[in-house]
Chains A and B, each alone.
Chain A
Amino acid sequence: MNNKFILKIIDISFRLTILCVVSAMLLSWVYKETKTKIEENIKKEIETAQKDALPGAVSFQEKESGKKKYVEGYDANGNSVGKIFVLSERGYGSEIKMMVGVNNGKIVGIKVIQHTETPGLGDGITKKNFLNQFIDKSLNQLLLKKDGGEIEAITGATISSKACIKIAKEALEYGKQSEQQ
């Protein structure tokens, strides 16, 4: 009886081990095959966002100013077309992460890369007609219309809109700081 029991346990363990090993080998193969494609996707996504934030830039270089990391964009002739800052701010229901391109004290490009604001209300911050308001604005123009500035908030999503304005302002500040170095 005891022998039979031990044999049974060995049999079960053996089968389970084979299954685990086969499965692990299969998964390791799938992982290797998809690894490069996944890394490419991530790189492409970042590059597209950077190109959106600095229109006209073809190459990018990571730099640091003080403690703030940023990316400097260059056009085909090697001239700098501006700097990109990635900043986050608390919105209504989530953290809003944006990529802002600044040049000469003005915003040249702006893009939302991460958020979970309320669908239908706060998520209007990703729409072109809201973000385009930021282009070509300088520090003192970045206020809500009702506060004397030129940005129209999204109806029903004032907090989300204000968060975006805060981020844009911060980016301009950092841009100014980095130029002074």
Chain B
Amino acid sequence: MGNNQNNNRTCGLKNPKLNALFYGVIKGNPIVVLMIGLCPVLAISTTVYNAVGMSIAVAFVLMGSNVIVSLLRKFTPNQIRIPVFIIIISTFVTIVDYLIKANLPFLYKQLGIFIPLIVVNCVIIGRAEAFAYKNSVFLSFLDAIGSSIGFLIVLFLIGATREILGQGTFFNKVIFSNPCIVMVLPPGGFITIGVIMGLLSYYNLRKKKQ
């Protein structure tokens, strides 16, 4: 799945800590490179507020789960690692669910069913399996930060595009009227991601030619 030109989980930096940190941002960006974690991306990104809110929720769960999975990696025999990941991740997701419900009721209404769906967000299980289970706590934490930043950047771009073009506002401040409504509807979401991936692919092809 995905344009995986680089199967080592590094981005070429010497320091393993910086490697872990920056991998998730560009080379191993969960959404556009690894093609995982797509579910919330299209549904939530109708406005920038939702996109950023969702990214922060995912970041919280990702950091928590990566750290705990890494802490417990000696305690977890190989056969039961998937159930263990699931228990850890769903605990953090439930915590985030209730925290948002209590403190940010407006965001809770916007995200709705997608908060519990973070549990099956492939980004989190993917990073737990691919990295946190095999690396130290600090490196796993950095990896979580990197992937969260990568996730946030892409979600922000998509959210901004859809909100500005589709509603004419940015963070609910009106920018222009007569927006193109299809952008906030489902088809618009698909088109936005298609364009972003097309641009990335174009950039990669040109790099290859040089």
* Residues of chain A whose beta carbon lies under 8 Å from any beta carbon of chain B: 11-12, 15-16, 19-20, 23, 26-27, 30-31, 34, 37-38, 41, 45, 118-121
Contact = CB atoms under 8 A, between A and B. Distances in A.
B91 A23 contact: yes
- Dominant SS among interface residues on chain B: helix
B77 A12 contact: yes
Contact of B87 (A20, A30, A37, A38): A20
A30 B184 CA distance: 35
B166 interface: yes
Contacts of A19: 72, 84, 87-88
Interface of B: 46, 72, 75-77, 79-80, 83-84, 87-88, 90-91, 94-95, 98-99, 101-103, 105, 166-167, 179, 181, 184-185
A38 B95 contact: no
Contact of B184 (A27, A34, A120): A120
Nearest to A26: B91
A62 B138 CA distance: 56
What are the 6 closest A-B residue pairs judged by CB atoms, nearest first? Answer: A120-B181, A34-B102, A37-B102, A23-B91, A34-B98, A41-B105
Given A45-B105, A120-B179, 11 more contacts: A12-B77, A15-B75, A15-B84, A16-B83, A16-B87, A19-B72, A38-B102, A119-B166, A119-B181, A119-B184, A120-B181
A23 B87 contact: yes
B98 A30 contact: yes
Nearest to B104: A41
Nearest to A37: B102
12 contacts: A12-B79, A16-B84, A19-B88, A20-B87, A26-B95, A27-B91, A30-B95, A31-B98, A45-B105, A118-B181, A119-B185, A120-B167
